[in-house]
Structures are given as C-alpha cells and as structure tokens.
Amino acid sequence: MKVRRKKPSARATAARKSAVSRKRPADVSTKRPVAGPARKHSVTALGADCTIDHAPGLHKRLAKSLADRACVTLDFAAVKRCDTAGLQVLAAFIRERREAGRKVELTGVSDNFLATAKLLGLSALFGPATADVSPAQVACA
C-alpha cells in the first residue's frame, strides 16, 4: 500500500522560503554581476604537439579566442613538435586576427620552430614584427 504525502500548504512553503532567505548574508547579491570592461590580455598556451592529430583540438581552442577584442598571447614555450597541419591552424588564426585588426603576441617561439616556418614560407607571420624586436617578444601595444 502506498503512503501518500501530504502536500505542503502555501503558508508552509512561504515560511520555508523566507527561512532560507534569512540565512543568506545581507551583503551577498542574488543578481548577476554587471559585465565589466573588456579584458586587456588573453593567454593561450600551446601543447607539446601541434601535429595533424592535435589540429582539430587546437583549432577549436583558438576559435574561442578568435573574436576576443583583447590582445591574445600564444605561448609556444611547451611546443616540441609542429607539423604542417599545426602550422596551418596557427597561421590561419594569426592571419584572421590581424586582418580583423586584433593583436596577437607570440612568446616562447624556438629557433627550430622559426626555421620550420621559414622553410614553409611563413616566417612573416611568426617572425618579428619589426627588425629590432625578437620573435619571442612580439608584444601587444
């Protein structure tokens, strides 16, 4: 035989809600925070492998920050291997950001990576923006 629960009365429900609201500290707001100013800088650390196996995941991660108005930093410090597919994803990201007038910073770019980019004709994208700035410090202004 099933035991039926008694439905709480409207008065009991209101009393329970008010008891819960009394437990909340007075300085805690229940409203959503108002959006503040846009971020000034965003960092994306690349993994050790930027190969064809990792290209779809890399593309998905970079796509999230493609429209970001903040300056995006790509940290190459952990990159050990990068093949043509990885370079294509990175080059497309950098080109799209620059064409949209958004800044990209490259940090931790190794000499081996730059040699590979030069071999594929991509040294203009991954190289220094000016002659007196090292590739590891192409900075957002």
CATH numbers and ranges of domains, the chain: 41-137 (3.30.750.24)
| Residue 96: exposure state from Cβ atoms within 10 A (0-12, 13-18, ≥19) | middle
The DSSP element (H or E) to which 72 belongs, if any, is: strand 71-75
pLDDT tens across 61-113, in order? 999 888 888 899 999 999 999 999 999 999 999 999 999 999 999 999 998 89
* C-alpha to C-alpha distance for 54 and 78, rounded to whole angstroms: 14
* C-alpha to C-alpha distance for 6 and 60, rounded to whole angstroms: 52
pLDDT tens across 11-64, in order? 666 656 555 445 444 433 333 333 334 557 889 999 999 999 999 999 999 998
pTM, to two decimals: 0.63
The DSSP element (H or E) to which 7 belongs, if any, is: none
Is residue 90 helix, strand or coil? helix
pLDDT of residue 35: 39
Residue pair 86/52 in contact (Cβ under 8 Å)? The answer is yes
Closest among 124, 75, 119 to 98, alpha carbons compared: 124
At 3, the pLDDT band (50, 70, 90 cuts) reads low
Helices (H), 6-110: 10-23, 55-64, 84-99
pLDDT exceeds cutoff 70 at 140: no
Residue pair 61/86 in contact (Cβ under 8 Å)? The answer is no
* C-alpha to C-alpha distance for 126 and 138, rounded to whole angstroms: 9
